[in-house]
């Protein structure tokens, strides 16, 4: 994980391996309105655990087709030196699984406090129905 930070410069965390564990929390039905909770472990490129991410996702839709579905996420990354809140939509079943997605992020404590930017994530693997492996990054300024 490459990292850079000063008071005036950006905070950049890249090449984060994110192991997502999800569970359906409202009911077992499929479709719009299903809510999932997730707890993710965040690792640097050497395999060291650097933090956790806790959040929710709600399945929504802009229309009737499967490609019209998306998930609205809200989560907080917790690192030893502070935390970052991120929220936004991403495709439910991406047509291009390797495409990177970005959502808005804001620092809520520690060295991240008050900084704003984006949280990026990209599907790497889905070994089972409750586990997803992502490659993530975080870019903040302020």
| CA quadruple 133, 121, 51, 75: dihedral sign | negative
pLDDT at residue 76, rounded to an integer: 98
pLDDT at residue 17, rounded to an integer: 96
pLDDT at residue 6, rounded to an integer: 45
What the chain holds in terms of domains, given with CATH numbers, is 3-141 (2.40.480.10)
Q: Cα–Cα distance between 108 and 52 in angstroms, integer?
A: 15
In degrees rounded to 5, what are phi and psi of residue 5?
A: -165, 135
pLDDT at residue 27, rounded to an integer: 55
**Cβ–Cβ < 8 Å for 135, 120:** no
In degrees rounded to 5, what are phi and psi of residue 37?
A: -105, 145
Q: Which residues of the chain have pLDDT under 50?
A: 4-7
**Cβ–Cβ < 8 Å for 134, 121:** yes
pTM over 0.85: no
């Amino acid at each position: 994980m490459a990292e850079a930070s000063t008071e005036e410069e950006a905070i950049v965390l890249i090449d984060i391996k994110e192991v997502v564990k999800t569970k359906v929390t409202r009911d077992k039905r499929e479709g719009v309105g299903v809510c999932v909770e997730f707890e993710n472990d965040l690792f640097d490129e050497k395999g060291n655990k650097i933090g956790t991410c806790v959040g929710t996702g709600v399945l929504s839709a802009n229309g009737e087709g499967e490609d019209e579905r998306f998930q609205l996420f809200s989560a907080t990354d917790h690192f030893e030196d502070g935390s970052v809140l991120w929220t936004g939509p991403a495709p439910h079943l991406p047509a291009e699984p390797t495409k990177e997605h970005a959502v808005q992020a804001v620092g809520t404590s520690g060295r991240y406090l008050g900084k704003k930017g984006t949280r990026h994530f990209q599907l790497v693997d889905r070994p089972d129905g409750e586990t997803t492996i992502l490659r993530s990054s975080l870019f903040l300024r302020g």
